[in-house]
Amino acid sequence: MKPLDDLTSEEQQNEELVMGLRHALNKPLTISAEEQAKHLARVRERLFQSKQAGGEHPDLPLQPGIIESHEQRDGAPIEEGPVLTSPRPRSRFLHTVNMLAAVAVVCVLIGSMLLVLTRLHVPQTSQGYPGSGQTASVAPTTSPHITFAAITFTGATSYAQALQLVTNLGLQPVAPCSGTQLDRDGKIGSWFWWHPLADGFSSYPRGMYVATTPLAASDWLARLRATRNVTNIQTAHFVFSCPADQLGTPLPGAVVALAPQQAGTYLTVMFSSHASSYDQALQEISNLGLRLADPCLERSGKRPSPGYSAGQEQKYAATRTLVLATTANSPTNWQRQLDSVVGVQSVQILAPTTC
């Protein structure tokens, strides 16, 4: 750098400007605001006269808290813009700390909810189709609040084996897309076409929808999971692809299911001595939506004790008779269809007071 005495007038002015800028950038507290603004205004004036007029010099850093002066550019005044401020380091730090604290609180809340759901032991899967391959969570020892389930069986399990397994536990095969609703006047308001219940087993690969009956003990779900024939049990998040229900009076010849208010008739069915086996008889009555029943136990209001078996295989072997009850999955013409079953010898409806 030349000595100050050897500098020309223009070089001396530039040198003073450079020294002033360096002084303002390195030690801003030793120069007053008025002097700093004067130096910057002179720099801007020179820059605006150069070829880069209209843009800022790339080597000049942006100073926070500076307002542009009213200079002339192309004959028009430059409007004063808002004060440019950069976020304070302390404010940015506090903002980061607050965000981290909020994230920590959310993680704690999510962890608490997952812990509660895990302790509930409610099996849930993402799909509602038997045979979907989803594995449910650990089953509870009791299941009084669960009334509906979708069961997937092994490929070697026959329909007769699956049916005897669920009926022994006090469960009944049901159709997911069914249900008859009555209006206030007792007439049918909406309905679905009724289909034999055995169709459901073939519709879903080795799967069956079941519902609990009054003969289902509190431990039926745990006992069902302990069975080797069962690969998956789903009790929540069901997804059905059902047709729209029909409104109004059923069409002539349409077979519909009983409404819940119409179900609950107890009856006994006797098969001939040359009739089919217990498994075949069980398939015939279950196909019509009839369930195994115990009128005395059910009318007492008591729930079967854990380990209770609702099967009637021994009774059938001795008397060729089954005690049954109609359900909301039974067709309205269940008696006529039951009379047409091969091997059925007699059907007797039990009186309300009969045990």
pLDDT tens, position by position, 89-108: 556 777 777 777 777 777 76
Which of 77, 105, 126 corresponds to the end of one domain?
Answer: 77
Q: Which of 14-18, 168-172, 228-232, 343-347 is predicted with the least confidence, judged by mean pLDDT?
A: 14-18
Range of the domain at 56: 4-77
Nearest to 266 by CA among 200, 346, 348, 343: 348
Is residue 34 in a domain?
Answer: yes
Q: Are 173 and 279 members of one domain?
A: yes
Last residue of a domain, one of 42, 57, 77: 77
234 in Cβ contact with 171 (< 8 Å): no
Q: How many structural domains does the chain have?
A: 2
pLDDT band, very low/low/confident/very high, at 8 (cuts 50, 70, 90):
low
Mean pLDDT of 147-161: 90
Question: How far is 209 from 195, CA to CA, in rounded Å?
Answer: 14
Lowest mean pLDDT among 178-192, 229-243, 258-272, 289-303: 229-243
Burial class from Cβ neighbours inside 10 Å (0-12, 13-18, 19+) for residue 206 reads: buried
Torsion region of 301: left, alpha or beta (phi above 0 gives left; psi -120 to 50 gives alpha) = left
Specify whether the CB–CB gap between 50 and 30 falls below 8 A: no
Residue 93 forms part of a structural domain = no
Side chain identity at 121, as an amino acid letter? H
User: Within a domain: residue 303?
Assistant: yes
pLDDT tens digits along 54-66: 444 444 444 444 4
User: What type of residue is 330?
Assistant: S
Distance of CA 223 to the CA centre of its chain: 26
Q: What does DSSP say about strands 344-349 and 321-325: parallel, antiparallel, or unpaired?
A: unpaired
Confidence of residue 135 (pLDDT cuts 50, 70, 90): very low
155 and 72, same domain (yes or no): no
Q: Classify residue 94: in a domain, yes or no.
A: no
Tokens of 222: 């745990």
DSSP 50: S
